[in-house]
Amino acid sequence: MALLEVKHLGISFGGLRAVDDLNMSIEQGSLVGLIGPNGAGKTTAFNLLTGVYAPSEGTIVLDGESLVGKAPTEICKSGIARTFQNIRLFTKMTVLDNVKVALHNHVEYSLAESFFHLGKFSKREKEMDERAIDILKVFDLDGQADVLASNLPYGKQRKLEIARALATEPKLLLLDEPAAGMNPNETQELMDTIQLIRDKFHITILLIEHDMKLVSGICEYLYVLNFGMELAHGEPAVVLNDPKVITAYLGE
């Protein structure tokens, strides 16, 4: 069975079918793109996968576990992490603390322990500092651990958002337009980073992206949405040359 199995997923907003009969089967360790014109339903699909919206119909199964009906925090614990189209960092916190917050997804100690900085708390805090720095190193952000997130340049804020998502130790990482607003150099660097984290952390990545250079450069499989429905799926070389897909994009 694939890591993520989505069957007949759908949601309506009033009369609008934002996602309609979406089926996806995403293998563990793969790097998959979700593409389509503006308003095709891509972000809505992410919102369904992460429990922001409850689907009107369909099933979502991650690693054998049904996710429909679960709250976003439960789904994060089950193993899905995401980044957003518009960066959502804790801007008043340091780079290090942005990552440490996410590490709490798997760390447990009592309120009393955390309040009095006792026992397990102090030890865990130290371990978490080390773990957070390790993650920041992957993104070449360890040198800026003490900088406020809002003071990072744009490209690095995007990377920090991915680092934070990764800190929750997801099985599946969802990236919503990770290259949005990046210049070509930053995009190239991001592509290398995305491939590196897939290889280093053995996770599965599903990303929404309009930058076709990124999509064709790193994705191994694509799903194309148009008006909420699946227009095509398959290997990038085939899908991106599919006349239906070309027309949908040119028709924007």
Ligand X SMILES: Nc1ncnc2c1ncn2[C@@H]1O[C@H](COP(=O)(O)OP(=O)(O)OP(=O)(O)O)[C@@H](O)[C@H]1O
Name the residues that contact ligand X, by CB under 6 A. Answer: 13, 16, 18, 36, 38-44, 85
Nearer to ligand X, 83 or 144 (CB): 83
CB of 47: closest distance to ligand X in angstroms?
7
CB of 10: closest distance to ligand X in angstroms?
12
CB of 249: closest distance to ligand X in angstroms?
11
CB of 14: closest distance to ligand X in angstroms?
7
CB of 105: closest distance to ligand X in angstroms?
25
Nearer to ligand X, 132 or 219 (CB): 219
3-state secondary structure the chain: CCCEEEEEEEEEECCEEEEEEEEEEECCCCEEEEECCCCCCHHHHHHHHCCCCCCCEEEEEECCEECCCCCHHHHHHHCEEECCCCCCCCCCCEHHHHHHHHHHHHCCCCHHHHHHCCHHHHHHHHHHHHHHHHHHHHCCCHHHCCCEHHHCCHHHHHHHHHHHHHHCCCCEEEEECCCCCCCHHHHHHHHHHHHHHHHHHCCEEEEECCCHHHHHHHCCEEEEEECCEEEEEECHHHHCCCHHHHHHHHCC
CB of 138: closest distance to ligand X in angstroms?
27
